[in-house]
């Protein structure tokens, strides 16, 4: 299978105007499974013009009618879950079960966005003075766009797009050029929704396409998810151009294990969190901070369970984790592991030599664990985004919280304990946007915002829930006087 992908603009499949194509690589085999346009400004100009033209009609379509398309969208995704999940695994490498779980998360966001007629309601004060009323109405902004990363090809555009269009905006989705086939298939299905032309568009490409979105005057609202350096660039450039931007960035998530933590549950959740999706989750546990004697009884159990995890092709139902996304990524991660060892960490489990039979060119790394990691080391400071878990031992909860708070990232932090007081102190004092208590991947449900602090997020309103509704609407404050005497004169 080798397919040249097209853009979806103004209700039609069109060739990109860029003259170069990139290979889409199956990370399990190293083989090309498709070709994607490298992208260009002209494609964004076409999509923005089409979306802008469609906006007038769409914003005047009642919200109750707009959400009817979302109900159909949900049914379409649910009835094609297996097929879409298989494409996701093919180009992204994660296991088939992980791809299916991602679909559930996407659908949950559509379900929440179906409540837009209620979610867009606002406040009304009668008689702020005699015969004068004041109220707020929420209106769409125009054309919105989302720029997504490789690690959740299905889910991430749904943190934004269903809310944006249900609120009356038109939209452009820019998938990651590393995993463009999944969203292409989803758009093929969406063609049958018969949305008005131009309401929903998809443009492929990389950096040039992103920069064109950041500059285009017809696109006032941009949602980004990806690495911190690019999130910063998108936020700075977009806002400089007068746009509202929400940019979710990288992470270095810590899990604190207290001496009283229930060992079996704690270890199982930590290992799933660190090595699920081959560690390529923005909520993956990448650092375990053991407090006091937790180090002695938790660390050997983590190693033993991690050792039992099978690395393999995502379509192999016996595999617990797939490959990392690219050959470059594998080299980068292996270099970081070596750097960690050179800077004094203990190599407790080495996944670098893992081999998957019949997949000699796949980007596989097995679960890797580094002990006695120090705060100053590169392996602690850098987001590894691979199946590598660092362990740091501290004496007190206060020390653990201070360590987390000094980290530049603030996406998520979790604690395992049987003490309500310890959990409360952690929740109150830890500087991270998503907090887990006896939870390994504190992924907010669609009816909560997906938070993030410090260099893990640039902006104020996050993806999902009421935050997405606020982000994709602007408020208009109206003050009205209706005088009975005027009416009597006519």
Question: Which parts of this chain interact with ligand NAD (CB under 6 A)?
Answer: 147-152, 174, 176-177, 206-207, 210, 225-227, 230, 233, 248-251, 282, 383, 385, 411, 450, 452, 456
In whole angstroms, give the CA distance from residue 458 to residue 455: 7
Q: Which of 168, 21, 164, 26 is nearest to 88 (CA)?
A: 26
Per the CB < 8 A criterion, the answer to whether 292 and 284 are in contact is: no
Give the H or E element holding residue 221: strand 221-225
Closest approach, Cβ 467 to ligand NAD, in A, equals 13
In whole angstroms, give the CA distance from residue 222 to residue 215: 11
Q: Which is nearer to ligand NAD, 20 or 475 (CB)?
A: 20
Q: Which is nearer to ligand NAD, 185 or 233 (CB)?
A: 233
DSSP code, position 382: S
> Which two three-digit tokens encode residue 356?
């998957």
> Which two three-digit tokens encode residue 96?
């088939």
Catalytic residue (choose from 92, 146, 282, 414): 282
Q: Which is nearer to ligand NAD, 69 or 385 (CB)?
A: 385
Per the CB < 8 A criterion, the answer to whether 445 and 108 are in contact is: yes
Q: Which is nearer to ligand NAD, 233 or 243 (CB)?
A: 233
Give 432's Cβ-side CA count (13 Å radius).
31
Per the CB < 8 A criterion, the answer to whether 460 and 107 are in contact is: no
> Which two three-digit tokens encode residue 213?
């979105």
Give the H or E element holding residue 453: strand 453-454
Q: Angle at CA 466, nearest 5°, toward 460 and 467?
A: 15
Q: Which of 208, 209, 148 is nearest to 179 (CA)?
A: 148
Closest approach, Cβ 296 to ligand NAD, in A, equals 32
Closest approach, Cβ 458 to ligand NAD, in A, equals 10
Closest approach, Cβ 238 to ligand NAD, in A, equals 11
Closest approach, Cβ 412 to ligand NAD, in A, equals 9
Closest approach, Cβ 91 to ligand NAD, in A, equals 12
Q: Which residue has the tokens 């979105």?
A: 213
In whole angstroms, give the CA distance from residue 446 to residue 428: 23
Q: Which is nearer to ligand NAD, 9 or 422 (CB)?
A: 9
In whole angstroms, give the CA distance from residue 413 to residue 87: 32
Closest approach, Cβ 245 to ligand NAD, in A, equals 13
Q: Which residue is nearest to ligand NAD (CB)?
A: 226
- Assess whether 167 carries a catalytic annotation: no
Task: Classify 42 as helix, strand or coil.
Answer: helix
Give the H or E element holding residue 366: none
Q: Which amino acids are annotated catalytic? A: 282
């Amino acid at each position: 299978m080798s397919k040249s992908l097209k853009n979806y603009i103004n209700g039609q499949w069109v060739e990109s105007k860029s003259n170069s194509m990139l290979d889409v690589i199956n990370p399990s085999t190293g083989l090309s499974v498709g070709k994607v346009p490298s992208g260009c400004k002209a494609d964004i100009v076409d999509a923005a013009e089409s979306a802008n033209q469609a906006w007038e009609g769409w914003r005047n379509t009642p919200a109750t009618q707009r959400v009817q398309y979302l109900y159909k969208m949900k049914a379409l995704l649910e009835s094609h879950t297996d097929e879409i999940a298989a494409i996701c695994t093919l180009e992204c490498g994660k296991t088939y079960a992980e791809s299916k779980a991602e679909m559930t998360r996407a659908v949950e966001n559509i379900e929440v966005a179906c409540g837009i007629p209620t979610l867009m309601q606002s406040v009304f004060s009668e008689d702020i003075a005699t015969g004068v009323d004041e109220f707020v109405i929420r209106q769409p902004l125009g054309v919105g766009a989302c720029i997504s990363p490789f690690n959740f090809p299905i889910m991430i555009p749904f943190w934004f797009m269903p809310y944006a269009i249900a609120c009356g905006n038109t939209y452009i989705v820019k998938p990651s050029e590393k995993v463009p086939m999944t969203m292409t298939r989803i758009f093929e299905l969406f063609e049958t929704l018969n949305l008005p032309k131009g309401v929903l568009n998809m443009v492929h490409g990389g950096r040039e396409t992103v920069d064109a979105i950041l500059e285009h005057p017809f696109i006032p609202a941009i949602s980004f998810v990806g690495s911190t350096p690019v999130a910063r660039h998108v936020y700075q450039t977009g806002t400089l151009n007068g746009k509202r931007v929400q940019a979710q960035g990288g992470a270095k998530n810590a899990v604190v294990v207290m001496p009283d933590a229930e060992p079996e549950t704690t270890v199982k959740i930590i290992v799933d969190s660190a090595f699920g999706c081959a560690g390529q989750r923005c909520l993956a546990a990448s650092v375990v901070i053991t407090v006091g004697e937790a180090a002695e009884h938790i660390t050997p159990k983590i190693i033993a369970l991690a050792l039992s995890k099978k690395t393999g092709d995502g379509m192999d139902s016996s595999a617990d984790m797939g490959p990392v996304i690219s050959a470059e990524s594998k080299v980068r991660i292996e270099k970081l592991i070596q750097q960690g060892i050179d800077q004094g960490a203990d190599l407790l489990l080495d996944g670098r030599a893992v081999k998957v039979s019949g997949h000699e060119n796949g980007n596989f790394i097995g679960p890797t664990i580094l002990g006695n990691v120090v705060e100053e080391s590169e392996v602690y400071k850098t987001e590894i985004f691979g199946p590598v878990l660092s362990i740091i031992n501290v004496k007190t909860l206060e020390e653990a919280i201070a360590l987390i708070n000094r980290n530049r990232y603030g996406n998520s932090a979790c604690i395992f304990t049987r003490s309500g007081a310890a959990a409360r102190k952690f929740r109150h004092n830890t500087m991270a946007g998503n907090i887990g208590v006896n939870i390994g991947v504190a992924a907010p449900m669609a009816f909560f915002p997906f938070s993030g602090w410090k260099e893990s997020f640039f902006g104020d309103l996050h993806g999902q829930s009421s935050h997405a509704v606020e982000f994709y609407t602007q408020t208009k404050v109206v003050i009205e006087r209706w005088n009975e005497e005027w009416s009597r004169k006519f």
